[in-house]
Amino acid sequence: MSLPERVDLLVVGAGTAGAAVASLGARAGLRTLLIDRAPLDRAGAQWINAVPRWCFDDARIAQPRGAELVGDEVPYHFVAGEGHVVVRDHGVLELDMHLLVARLQQDARDAGATLEERCARSGSRAAWSAARCARTAASSSPT
């Protein structure tokens, strides 16, 4: 195991937000370390979720496509009391969040960030310098 001696940006949590921040930081030229206490393939959401399309543009992240995009502008049906409302033009995408997290983690790697999994804090709450991490499955995999 070899963690960078110095980092400009330490991101704790390799889920959707953390992986996106690590990618943006590394793309901006910051020495970036992204850590998670879980294996990286278990970080973040593991379900289908609705995400507004504009979020990707505002965050400068590529729009979802392929298997990651489960539904594009699927009509929403609301039933309350005696009424039924269908909302069609809402700009919301249905996403496989597990695949989105994996893509964002790969974007961070491609931008130069270091990703570490199974990190545990040691000592006081502020003692992140003593974090113990295992190398990512991707970097230690024989494939």
Please state the rounded mean pLDDT for residues 9-18: 95
- pLDDT one-digit tens code per residue, 58-85: 999 999 999 999 988 788 888 988 889 8
Q: 28 or 83, which is more confident?
A: 28
Q: Is the pLDDT of residue 121 over 90?
A: no
β-strand partners of 48: 96
β-strand partners of 97: none
- pLDDT one-digit tens code per residue, 29-59: 999 999 999 999 999 999 999 999 999 999 9
Rounded to a whole number, what is the distance in angstroms from the first to the last CA of the chain?
19
pTM: 0.79
Domain boundaries, the chain: 9-116
Please state the rounded mean pLDDT for residues 17-30: 97
**DSSP state for residue 68 in the 8-state scheme:** G
Q: Which residue is associated with the tokens 């992140």? A: 128
Nearest-10 crossing angle of helices 97-110, 16-27: 20
- Fold of the domain spanning 9-116: FAD/NAD(P)-binding domain (3.50.50)
Residue 121: half-sphere exposure toward Cβ, Cα within 13 Å: 8
